[in-house]
Structure 1
C-alpha cells in the first residue's frame, strides 16, 4: 500500500478508512462488541462534538480510564477530532500515581466506566474540577447506546494542526514522579507511516491489540490498523496476561499480526503444548531483551511468521529494527541486535560528553528525526534533548555498540552499578543466568544505597532443585568471581507490569 499523501493528523486516517472501507470491521473487543469503520467514525465524531461543545480544544487534554473496549478507541480519535490530546490512565496503577498524573496534566474531563469509577472514588479521586463521564456497561450495542447519550448538535469544527499534541503517555521519571511524554500528531505519523509500509499492513490483516492503551506499543496497534483499513482485536486485560489462552485466541480470530513485549511471548514459548495452529505472518516484539533460548523455543512453536526485534523509547517511538532469522540457530547464545535505524530516524553513538565515538566502540545511543518528541509535559527543558550539527537529538541513556548486523544492545546506563571497584552490568548477569540449564527466568536488581552495590538475583527454575551453591558455581564459571550476585531468591514466576515487562519495582518490594 502506498503511503498516505499529505497526512498530518492521526484522526484523518479514520476519515480515509471510513470513506474507503465503511463496512469493514474496524475494531472488536472482548465483550463481543464490534464496530465498522463507518460506526467508529460516527462515534468519534460525536465524542469530538461533545468535547467541543464543552469548550475542550487545542492545547487541552482529556483523560480516560476504563477497560479495553471499542469505545476507548473512539475516545482517542474523538478527542483528536476536538483538537485536544488524550491521556490514558492505567487502571492497575496505585491511587498515588493516578493522583499525581491527574494533578500534573490538568484534565477537565475524565471518561470512565462503572468499575473504574468505583476504584477512583474509593481512593478519593478524581478530585474537584474534573468532570467524569461514565460509559454504559461494555457489551454488544453499548457503543450505540453511548452514542445516543452523547447526542450534541454539531458545533463549529476546530482547525487543528499536525504540530498539536496527540496524546500524553506517562513513564516513570528518575525523580520518582511520573513524566508525561508529549507526542504530537507529526511525531506519531512519522512512525505509523514507516511501520505500516515496512510491515505491509493491509485490509487483510487482523491485528492483536495486546498492549494496554497507556503503553506506547498501542500506537502501532490502533493507528497502523486504521491507517491500513485492517481489523483490530482488543485483548481484554485478563486474557492479555494469560499465556495459556493466547494461542487459542490467535487461532479463533485468525490473527495475522502480533506486537508485544518479549515476556509474554517467552511465557508462551515455555508451554510447548500450546502449539495451536494460527495464521500469524508477523511477530513484532519490543521493550526489553528477548532471551535467545526463549526466542528459539518460540520460533519452533510458531515457525511460519516473520520475526522482528524493534527498539525505541517512548520519546522516539521505534527507531531501530532487526529481522530475526528463523529458526534461531542452536549455537546462538547472545541476544539479537536491535538492528539498523528506521528510515525516518537518524542515530549516533556518543560518550558522556555527547561527542561521537569511533565505529565499533561502545557508547550511548542518541536519536533524531520527526518521531522525536518535543519534551515532557510541564517541563521547559530536559538535558536529554540537545542540539548537535543542526539537529535536535534525544539521549536514550542506552549503551550500544555498532556491528555489521546493527547495534548491539548493552543495557541501560542506569542498569550499571559498581561493586568493589568493578563495573557490573545487571543485564549481563540476567543473560548469564538465563543460560543456566535449569533456569527458565531470571531478573537482577541492585541496592546502590551502600558504598558497594548489593546485587540480588531472582530465578525461576523448571522444577529441578537449584541450590545457592550451584547458582554461584555457574556464575563463577560464566562470569568470574566479581560478578556473582550477593544473594539468590527463588520465585515461582517473575512479576510483570501491565505492559508485559518485568516488574523491577515489585522485585524491590520483595527485598524490602
Structure 2
C-alpha cells in the first residue's frame, strides 16, 4: 500500500488531517524545516517504503550524521502508550487543574505528537502551539531545557509547570526554575524507536522511574552497561537510508531492543549515564559528553555550548564550541570552578554560529573537526614553548602559567578561586618555577600569598633572583 509524504506542521495535526490520513493512507511525517534541503531530495527522488499494515504512520528522524531513518508506528502501539501514560498517578497529579497546554516543540516528533497533541486530545485539553500572547503565564508547557533556560535568562514569564524531554535535565536549572519561577518540571525519558520508557522530577530524583509495562535488562559494553528494553511501544520495524535506498530493519517478537543508552538500575530507579556513542574516557574517568552539556546548561552561561570528543595518541580529551559572548578565559574559569576536573574541556572554541546539518540538528562532525584542529595547534604551540625540562631563566611567569592552564589569566586574578588551579596543577607550577630560578622554593614560601596570582609570583621571583 502506498505511503504519503507529509511535511507536517502544527496545522496538519490541529486541523484533523493527520487522523484522516491514518484511516486511509500511511503518512510519512517529515519536519517542515527539511523543505528545500538536500534531505528532501532523498524523499522526492527515491521510491518510498511500502507497507500493508493497517492504520500506521512513519516518523522521520535523523542522528548526528543527518542520515534519515523512517520509524514505523502502528496506531495501536501509540494508542496503548497514551492509555498507559494517562493511568500514571504522577502524571494525573501533574495535570490536575490544567485546561490548556502550550506546546513549544514540533508536533511531528514523537514527544511533541504524544504530549502536545494525542494526550491533550484524550483529556479534552486545548492545545496552543508556538508563542502564547497573554499577560498570564501558561499553566503547562510542553517544552525543552534550552527553551526554559532561555526564557529564564530573558526574564520572560515562565509556565507554572513544564513537561520536557530530549536530554537529562540539569538539576541546577531545575533548582533555579523552582526558586525564581515556582515552576515544577516533569522529565520524560524515551526515544522515537522505544516510545516513552519512564519519567522523573529532576529537582528531587536523580533516577528515572520506568513505566510498569517496561521490561528491561542490561548488556555489558566495556566497563559500563547498555539498557535493553521490551515494551508494547517499541517500534517493530524501521528503515535506514543506505547507498541511496531504504533498508528495512525488523525487531523480532519478544526481543529486547538495545537503546544505545548506558547506565545502571537499582531499587531507586534507572540512572542514565548517557548515549553510548557520546561517552569517552577522560583523565581516567568515563564521562558523558551529553551530561557535560547538561551541566553547562545548568550554569546558565550566555550562549549555546556543544561538547565533542577529541581522540589523540596522547589520550582522549574534550572540545567545547560556543557562540557565547563570554571570553574564553572566563568560560574556562567558571567551568574549572563548577565542574569536576574530568568534565573540564581541554579546548574551547568561540565562533558566531553553531554548525548545523540540513535537518537543523547540531553538526557534531564539523564541530569535532574545528575543535581538533584547535587542539592540534595548541599541542604544536606547547611543544614550541619551554617545558619543565628546558625552561630557562628568561621564560616568563605568564608563559609558565599558560602552559599549565591553557590560557593566560590576568595578572591579579586569584589562581585558585578565579582559575580553579588545584594541588596537582600547583605542583607542576612549583616545578617549573624552580626550573626557571634554578633553586628550590622553600615549603614555607609556598604557603604565602605571593603564589595566589601572576603578579605575586612575579614579585616573588624578582626578590628571589635579587637575593641570589
With structure 1 as the length reference, what TM-score do the two structures score? Answer: 0.59
In 2: Cα distance, 1:466 partner to 1:404 partner: 42
Match among 362, 365, 368 for residue 227 of structure 2: 365
Match among 481, 489, 495 for residue 349 of structure 2: 489
C-alpha contact (below 8 Å) 1:209/1:232 kept by paired residues = yes
Query: In structure 1, what is the equivalent of residue 175 of structure 2?
Result: 296
Deviation at 1:506, TM superposition (A): 7.1
Query: In structure 2, what is the equivalent of residue 445 of structure 1?
Result: 308
In 2: Cα distance, 1:174 partner to 1:464 partner: 27
Deviation at 1:479, TM superposition (A): 3.5
Query: In structure 1, what is the equivalent of residue 109 of structure 2?
Result: 215
293-302 or 64-73, which deviates more: 64-73
In 1: Cα distance, 2:313 partner to 2:72 partner: 36
What secondary structure, in the 3-state scheme, does the structure 2 residue paired with 1:407 have?
Answer: strand
Q: Deviations over 1:82-111 (max 9, x none)?
A: 1x2222222222621112234556289xxx
Does the C-alpha gap of structure 1 residues 65 and 509 become closer, same or farther in structure 2, counting only changes over 3 Å? Answer: farther
Query: In structure 1, what is the equivalent of residue 406 of structure 2?
Result: none
Deviation at 1:486, TM superposition (A): 3.4
In 1: Cα distance, 2:283 partner to 2:268 partner: 35
C-alpha contact (below 8 Å) 1:311/1:321 kept by paired residues = yes
Deviation at 1:257, TM superposition (A): 3.0
Deviation at 1:430, TM superposition (A): 3.1
Query: In structure 1, what is the equivalent of residue 213 of structure 2?
Result: 344
For the pair 1:88 / 2:29, whether they are aligned, the reply is: yes
Deviation at 1:231, TM superposition (A): 1.5
For the pair 1:232 / 2:127, whether they are aligned, the reply is: yes
Deviation at 1:68, TM superposition (A): 2.8
Deviation at 1:283, TM superposition (A): 1.6
In 2: Cα distance, 1:258 partner to 1:472 partner: 34
For the pair 1:188 / 2:78, whether they are aligned, the reply is: yes
Q: Deviations over 1:164-221 (max 9, x none)?
A: 3522111225875311011111221121112233333689621223221321122221
Query: In structure 1, what is the equivalent of residue 139 of structure 2?
Result: 256
For the pair 1:317 / 2:195, whether they are aligned, the reply is: yes
Query: In structure 2, what is the equivalent of residue 136 of structure 1?
Result: none
In 2: Cα distance, 1:435 partner to 1:80 partner: 40
C-alpha contact (below 8 Å) 1:341/1:347 kept by paired residues = no
In 2: Cα distance, 1:447 partner to 1:165 partner: 45
In 2: Cα distance, 1:487 partner to 1:258 partner: 36
Deviation at 1:79, TM superposition (A): 0.5
Larger helix percent: 2
What secondary structure, in the 3-state scheme, does the structure 2 residue paired with 1:351 have?
Answer: strand
In 2: Cα distance, 1:195 partner to 1:104 partner: 37
What secondary structure, in the 3-state scheme, does the structure 2 residue paired with 1:92 have?
Answer: helix
For the pair 1:285 / 2:164, whether they are aligned, the reply is: yes
Does the C-alpha gap of structure 1 residues 495 and 188 become closer, same or farther in structure 2, counting only changes over 3 Å? Answer: farther
Query: In structure 1, what is the equivalent of residue 332 of structure 2?
Result: 471
Deviation at 1:308, TM superposition (A): 1.0
In 1: Cα distance, 2:297 partner to 2:97 partner: 40
Structure number with larger C-alpha Rg: 2
Matched pairs, number: 360
Does the C-alpha gap of structure 1 residues 484 and 230 become closer, same or farther in structure 2, counting only changes over 3 Å? Answer: closer
C-alpha contact (below 8 Å) 1:263/1:501 kept by paired residues = no
In 2: Cα distance, 1:341 partner to 1:100 partner: 37
RMSD: 4.0
Does the C-alpha gap of structure 1 residues 430 and 373 become closer, same or farther in structure 2, counting only changes over 3 Å? Answer: same
C-alpha contact (below 8 Å) 1:208/1:234 kept by paired residues = yes
C-alpha contact (below 8 Å) 2:101/2:127 kept by paired residues = yes
Does the C-alpha gap of structure 1 residues 311 and 302 become closer, same or farther in structure 2, counting only changes over 3 Å? Answer: same
In 2: Cα distance, 1:507 partner to 1:395 partner: 27
Match among 376, 392, 396 for residue 259 of structure 2: 396
In 2: Cα distance, 1:341 partner to 1:307 partner: 17
Does the C-alpha gap of structure 1 residues 507 and 196 become closer, same or farther in structure 2, counting only changes over 3 Å? Answer: farther
1:403-414 to structure 2, matched below 5 A, reads 403-414=266-277
With structure 2 as the length reference, what TM-score do the two structures score? Answer: 0.64
In 2: Cα distance, 1:69 partner to 1:186 partner: 23
